[in-house]
Protein backbone atom coordinates (compact mmCIF):
# COMPACT_ATOMS: atom_id res chain seq x y z
CA UNK A 1 0.00 0.00 0.00
CA UNK A 2 1.37 3.41 -0.96
CA UNK A 3 1.80 5.70 2.02
CA UNK A 4 0.77 9.33 1.93
CA UNK A 5 3.45 12.01 2.25
CA UNK A 6 3.53 13.77 5.60
CA UNK A 7 3.46 17.42 6.60
CA UNK A 8 5.34 17.94 9.88
CA UNK A 9 4.00 20.84 11.93
CA UNK A 10 6.89 22.10 14.03
CA UNK A 11 10.45 22.46 12.75
CA UNK A 12 12.30 22.31 16.07
CA UNK A 13 14.28 19.36 17.45
CA UNK A 14 11.21 17.16 17.73
CA UNK A 15 10.31 17.89 14.13
CA UNK A 16 13.81 16.95 12.98
CA UNK A 17 13.59 13.68 14.93
CA UNK A 18 10.21 12.94 13.32
CA UNK A 19 11.72 13.64 9.90
CA UNK A 20 14.42 11.04 10.54
CA UNK A 21 11.78 8.51 11.60
CA UNK A 22 9.66 9.01 8.50
CA UNK A 23 12.66 8.96 6.16
CA UNK A 24 13.88 5.69 7.68
CA UNK A 25 10.48 4.17 6.86
CA UNK A 26 10.48 5.38 3.28
CA UNK A 27 7.75 7.93 3.95
CA UNK A 28 8.14 11.19 2.07
CA UNK A 29 7.93 14.39 4.11
CA UNK A 30 6.25 17.02 1.96
CA UNK A 31 7.27 20.02 4.06
CA UNK A 32 7.54 21.54 7.51
CA UNK A 33 5.17 24.18 8.84
CA UNK A 34 6.17 26.43 11.74
CA UNK A 35 4.82 29.63 13.24
CA UNK A 36 8.35 31.03 13.59
CA UNK A 37 8.74 33.33 10.59
CA UNK A 38 12.54 33.25 10.88
CA UNK A 39 12.44 29.59 9.79
CA UNK A 40 10.26 30.16 6.73
CA UNK A 41 12.10 29.18 3.57
CA UNK A 42 14.81 27.31 5.45
CA UNK A 43 15.68 23.73 4.51
CA UNK A 44 16.08 20.91 7.03
CA UNK A 45 17.68 17.83 5.46
CA UNK A 46 16.38 19.02 2.07
CA UNK A 47 12.82 19.53 3.38
CA UNK A 48 11.58 23.13 3.24
CA UNK A 49 9.81 25.04 5.99
CA UNK A 50 6.99 26.33 3.80
CA UNK A 51 5.31 28.71 6.23
CA UNK A 52 2.95 28.88 9.18
CA UNK A 53 0.30 26.22 9.89
CA UNK A 54 -2.56 28.21 8.37
CA UNK A 55 -5.29 27.42 5.86
CA UNK A 56 -3.03 27.89 2.81
CA UNK A 57 -1.03 24.82 3.78
CA UNK A 58 -3.45 22.90 5.97
CA UNK A 59 -5.69 22.39 2.94
CA UNK A 60 -3.23 19.73 1.72
CA UNK A 61 -3.85 17.59 4.81
CA UNK A 62 -6.47 14.91 4.32
CA UNK A 63 -6.83 12.48 1.43
CA UNK A 64 -3.49 13.32 -0.19
CA UNK A 65 -1.30 14.15 2.78
CA UNK A 66 -1.00 13.12 6.44
CA UNK A 67 0.08 15.36 9.30
CA UNK A 68 2.29 14.94 12.34
CA UNK A 69 2.39 17.59 15.08
CA UNK A 70 5.96 17.90 16.38
CA UNK A 71 5.53 20.54 19.08
CA UNK A 72 6.61 19.86 22.66
CA UNK A 73 5.06 22.90 24.36
CA UNK A 74 1.74 21.59 25.62
CA UNK A 75 -0.63 24.51 25.00
CA UNK A 76 0.66 25.09 21.46
CA UNK A 77 0.52 21.37 20.70
CA UNK A 78 -3.09 21.19 21.85
CA UNK A 79 -4.16 24.21 19.80
CA UNK A 80 -2.50 22.98 16.59
CA UNK A 81 -3.96 19.49 16.98
CA UNK A 82 -7.39 21.03 17.49
CA UNK A 83 -7.04 23.01 14.25
CA UNK A 84 -5.98 19.90 12.28
CA UNK A 85 -8.87 17.85 13.67
CA UNK A 86 -11.56 20.50 13.28
CA UNK A 87 -10.58 22.05 9.93
CA UNK A 88 -9.28 18.96 8.14
CA UNK A 89 -11.34 16.28 9.94
CA UNK A 90 -8.31 14.00 10.34
CA UNK A 91 -6.14 12.73 13.19
CA UNK A 92 -2.37 13.22 13.09
CA UNK A 93 -0.42 10.03 12.43
CA UNK A 94 2.15 8.36 14.69
CA UNK A 95 5.91 8.78 14.34
CA UNK A 96 7.36 5.53 15.70
CA UNK A 97 11.08 4.82 15.40
CA UNK A 98 12.01 1.46 13.91
CA UNK A 99 14.29 0.81 16.89
CA UNK A 100 11.49 1.18 19.44
CA UNK A 101 9.70 -1.86 20.86
CA UNK A 102 5.94 -2.21 21.28
CA UNK A 103 4.31 -5.32 22.77
CA UNK A 104 1.62 -6.90 20.60
CA UNK A 105 -0.97 -6.43 23.35
CA UNK A 106 -0.23 -2.72 23.80
CA UNK A 107 -2.65 -0.08 22.50
CA UNK A 108 -1.22 3.05 20.90
CA UNK A 109 -3.53 5.90 19.87
CA UNK A 110 -2.99 8.62 17.25
CA UNK A 111 -0.36 11.31 16.85
CA UNK A 112 2.18 9.73 19.21
CA UNK A 113 5.96 10.08 18.98
CA UNK A 114 8.18 7.17 20.05
CA UNK A 115 11.90 7.66 19.60
CA UNK A 116 14.72 5.10 19.35
CA UNK A 117 14.92 2.64 22.22
CA UNK A 118 11.49 3.42 23.64
CA UNK A 119 9.96 0.24 25.07
CA UNK A 120 6.22 -0.21 25.48
CA UNK A 121 5.25 -3.25 27.56
CA UNK A 122 2.34 -5.65 27.39
CA UNK A 123 -1.18 -4.29 27.85
CA UNK A 124 0.02 -0.68 27.99
CA UNK A 125 -2.71 1.76 26.97
CA UNK A 126 -1.36 4.98 25.48
CA UNK A 127 -3.88 7.60 24.39
CA UNK A 128 -3.30 10.22 21.67
CA UNK A 129 -0.55 12.81 21.10
CA UNK A 130 2.01 11.56 23.62
CA UNK A 131 5.78 12.02 23.31
CA UNK A 132 8.08 9.23 24.49
CA UNK A 133 11.74 10.10 24.11
CA UNK A 134 14.73 7.79 23.56
CA UNK A 135 15.16 4.76 25.82
CA UNK A 136 12.12 5.49 27.99
CA UNK A 137 10.33 2.43 29.34
CA UNK A 138 6.62 1.90 29.99
CA UNK A 139 6.30 -1.39 31.84
CA UNK A 140 3.27 -3.65 31.55
CA UNK A 141 -0.25 -2.36 32.28
CA UNK A 142 0.73 1.32 32.33
CA UNK A 143 -2.17 3.61 31.44
CA UNK A 144 -1.21 6.93 29.89
CA UNK A 145 -3.70 9.66 29.03
CA UNK A 146 -3.43 12.20 26.19
CA UNK A 147 -0.63 14.72 25.71
CA UNK A 148 1.84 13.12 28.14
CA UNK A 149 5.58 13.68 27.64
CA UNK A 150 8.08 11.09 28.90
CA UNK A 151 11.72 12.17 28.93
CA UNK A 152 14.70 10.15 27.76
CA UNK A 153 15.53 7.17 29.95
CA UNK A 154 12.52 7.57 32.23
CA UNK A 155 10.93 4.40 33.61
CA UNK A 156 7.23 4.13 34.35
CA UNK A 157 6.55 1.12 36.54
CA UNK A 158 3.94 -1.56 35.92
CA UNK A 159 0.36 -0.50 36.47
CA UNK A 160 1.13 3.21 36.91
CA UNK A 161 -1.45 5.73 35.70
CA UNK A 162 -0.28 8.96 34.08
CA UNK A 163 -2.80 11.78 33.75
CA UNK A 164 -3.43 14.04 30.80
CA UNK A 165 -0.69 16.54 29.99
CA UNK A 166 1.74 15.27 32.63
CA UNK A 167 5.45 15.72 32.00
CA UNK A 168 7.87 13.04 33.21
CA UNK A 169 11.44 14.37 33.24
CA UNK A 170 14.44 12.56 31.78
CA UNK A 171 15.67 9.69 33.94
CA UNK A 172 12.73 9.86 36.35
CA UNK A 173 11.34 6.66 37.83
CA UNK A 174 7.66 6.21 38.57
CA UNK A 175 7.12 3.29 40.96
CA UNK A 176 4.60 0.57 40.04
CA UNK A 177 0.91 1.39 40.49
CA UNK A 178 1.56 5.06 41.30
CA UNK A 179 -0.95 7.63 40.04
CA UNK A 180 0.48 10.81 38.48
CA UNK A 181 -2.22 13.45 38.22
CA UNK A 182 -3.24 15.52 35.23
CA UNK A 183 -0.87 18.37 34.38
CA UNK A 184 1.80 17.29 36.87
CA UNK A 185 5.51 17.88 36.37
CA UNK A 186 8.04 15.27 37.49
CA UNK A 187 11.57 16.63 37.75
CA UNK A 188 14.44 14.91 35.91
CA UNK A 189 15.99 12.04 37.84
CA UNK A 190 13.23 11.97 40.44
CA UNK A 191 11.97 8.82 42.16
CA UNK A 192 8.19 8.95 42.57
CA UNK A 193 6.91 6.54 45.21
CA UNK A 194 3.59 8.16 46.14
CA UNK A 195 0.60 9.60 44.29
CA UNK A 196 1.19 12.97 42.63
CA UNK A 197 -1.78 15.31 42.81
CA UNK A 198 -2.97 17.08 39.63
CA UNK A 199 -1.10 20.21 38.52
CA UNK A 200 1.73 19.85 41.02
CA UNK A 201 5.51 19.71 40.53
CA UNK A 202 7.63 17.16 42.37
CA UNK A 203 11.37 16.64 42.46
CA UNK A 204 13.96 14.56 44.29
CA UNK A 205 14.70 11.07 45.57
CA UNK A 206 12.16 10.41 46.87
CA UNK A 207 10.19 13.08 45.03
CA UNK A 208 8.56 15.84 47.07
CA UNK A 209 6.27 18.68 46.04
CA UNK A 210 8.04 21.96 45.30
Rounded average pLDDT over 138-167: 98
Is the pLDDT assigned to residue 57 strictly greater than 60? yes
Residues of the chain with CATH 2.160.10.10: 94-197
Is the pLDDT assigned to residue 109 strictly greater than 60? yes
Look over the chain and give the mean of its residue pLDDT values, rounded to a whole number.
94
Is the pLDDT assigned to residue 1 strictly greater than 60? no
Is the pLDDT assigned to residue 204 strictly greater than 90? yes
What pLDDT does residue 16 have? Answer: 96
Rounded average pLDDT over 95-110: 97
Residue in 97, 129, 133, 140 annotated catalytic? 140
Is 140 part of the annotated catalytic residue set?
yes
Superfamily of domain 6-93: NAD(P)-binding Rossmann-like Domain (3.40.50.720)
Is the pLDDT assigned to residue 66 strictly greater than 80? yes
Is-contact 139 120, C-beta < 8 A?
no
Superfamily of domain 94-197: Hexapeptide repeat proteins (2.160.10.10)
In DSSP terms, which residues pair with 168 in a beta bridge?
Answer: 150, 186
State pTM to two decimals: 0.94
Is the pLDDT assigned to residue 2 strictly greater than 90? no
pLDDT, tens digit, for every residue of 112-139? 999 999 999 999 999 999 999 999 999 9
Residues of the chain with CATH 3.40.50.720: 6-93
Amino acid sequence: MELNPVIIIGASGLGKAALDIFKSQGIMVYCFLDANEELHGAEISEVTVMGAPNNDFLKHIGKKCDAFVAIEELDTRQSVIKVVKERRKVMPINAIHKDSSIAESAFIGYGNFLNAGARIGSDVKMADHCIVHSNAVLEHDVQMDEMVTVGSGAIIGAGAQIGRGAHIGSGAIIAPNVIVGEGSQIGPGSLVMMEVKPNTTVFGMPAKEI
